[in-house]
Amino acid sequence: MSLFVTVPTARLAESIGPLPEGVELEVWDLASPAPREKIDLVVPPYMGGSSALEALEGLDVGLVQSQSIGYEGIGEKLPAGIPFANAASVHETSTAEIALALTLAAQRQFPRFVLAQQNGEWAPAFAESLADRRVLLVGFGGVGEAIALRLEPFEVELTVVARTARPVWHERLGRVQVHAIDELAELLPNAEVVVLALPGGDETRHLFDDEMLAFLPDGALLVNVGRGTLVDTDALVRQNGRIRAALDVMDPEPLPAEHPLWKTEGVLISPHVGGASTAMNPRIAKLIRKQIERMLRGEAPVNVVLDGS
């Protein structure tokens, strides 16, 4: 059996390394003409946007392997009949790292220290800890689980929320009682730190609007590493610093330079870099190799989230 595979960069092609006999790999960024009419596996650019998928129209494509976990809006751009796999297993650890980094930076007032350093000022501060805080984790998929594992050593009081309530036994976390998302209004008033790790889409759009944000106590910290659309950005600005926020994802993105969120008191912003670390390249390369090997054996690919029907 032979396979023809395309990846968007020479760097990724090099990371994948030697391939089994019968596999041909070519670099294609989806911006230039397609190298062939039939491609068994296409890997689009990481930050190319879903519009790049329109380049697949009229081609015979066996599978699109995304480099991202999220896939909202993909079905509208992906030509009919092409299966689509997301990058589960690639970004969970890096996204969990930035969730912890943002939380710690906000709690321990790192932005204040950075500004003081620029001015050559010695400016000690008595800050909030992460230890002993009541943390509400909203989302318990791959990213949420990775965040929970990293929160555990910080001795927090952790409450987990997902779409449906259920008890979960985790080999490292033990028994986790997952609360339903419709319990948020009851849980938020007791939360000191809220970490969002939900996917985007219509069901979760502006989940944290004026009404939901109002349930948070004064001084609470909202951390978002899920999707920017989870939070109504205008509603967050209207909080005017009553609650704090540490955000790796925003709505809109990129955040315009004139947007008031930049100057909203108590807000820390990173520019959607949760998965952008040195962990990404070897992990996406490993996933692509796994897909190739499964296809060579005649097995179904993993992580298929849209079957092309």
Summarised one tens digit per residue, pLDDT across range 237-271 is 999 999 999 999 999 999 999 999 999 999 999 99
Tell me phi and psi for residue 193, to 5 degrees: -135, 130
Q: Report how far residue 216's alpha carbon sits from residue 278's, in angstroms, rounded to the nearest whole number.
A: 35
Is residue 211 among the annotated active site residues? no
The owner of tokens 């594992």 is 149
- How many angstroms separate the CA atoms of 288 and 16, rounded? 7
91, 133, 179, 227: the active-site residue: 227
Catalytic residue (one of 24, 26, 186, 253): 253
Hey, how many other C-beta atoms are within 10 angstroms of the C-beta on 89? 16
**What is the C-alpha separation between 276 and 278, in angstroms, rounded?**
7
- Single out the catalytic residue among 91, 133, 272, 283: 272
* 66: nearest Cα among 47, 79, 81, 80: 47
Between CA 124 and CA 243, with CA 223 as vertex, the angle to 5 degrees is 65
Confidence at residue 157, expressed as pLDDT on a 0 to 100 scale? 97
What is the Cα 19 distance to its own chain's centre? 29
The reported pLDDT for the residue numbered 251 is 97
Identify the CA nearest to 231 among candidates 211, 252, 205: 205
Closest by alpha carbon to 114, among 106, 15, 289? Answer: 106
Whether 170 sits among the annotated catalytic residues: the reply is: no
For residue 23, what are the β-bridge partners? 3
- pLDDT given for residue 291 in this prediction: 97
Q: Based on the residue annotation, tell me whether 227 is a catalytic residue of this protein.
A: yes
Kindly state the average pLDDT of the residues 82-98.
Answer: 97
pTM of the model: 0.93
pLDDT band at 34 (very low <50, low <70, confident <90, very high): very high
pLDDT band at 221 (very low <50, low <70, confident <90, very high): very high
Q: Where does residue 89 fall: left (phi above 0), alpha (psi -120 to 50 degrees), or beta otherwise? A: left
Give residue 50's pLDDT band: very low, low, confident or very high (50, 70, 90).
Answer: confident
Residue whose token pair is 């670390």: 277
Would you give the distance in Å from CA 197 to the centre of its chain? 7
Please give the C-alpha separations between residue 215 and each of 198, 218, 229, 247, in angstroms, as whole numbers: 19, 9, 19, 19
pLDDT at 116: 97
Whether residue 306 is predicted with pLDDT greater than 90 in this model: the reply is yes
pLDDT at 66 over 90: yes
pLDDT tens sequence across 150-173: 999 999 999 999 999 999 988 888
| pLDDT reported for residue 308 | 81
The H-or-E segment that residue 148 falls in is helix 142-151
> pLDDT tens digits for 200-209?
999 999 999 9
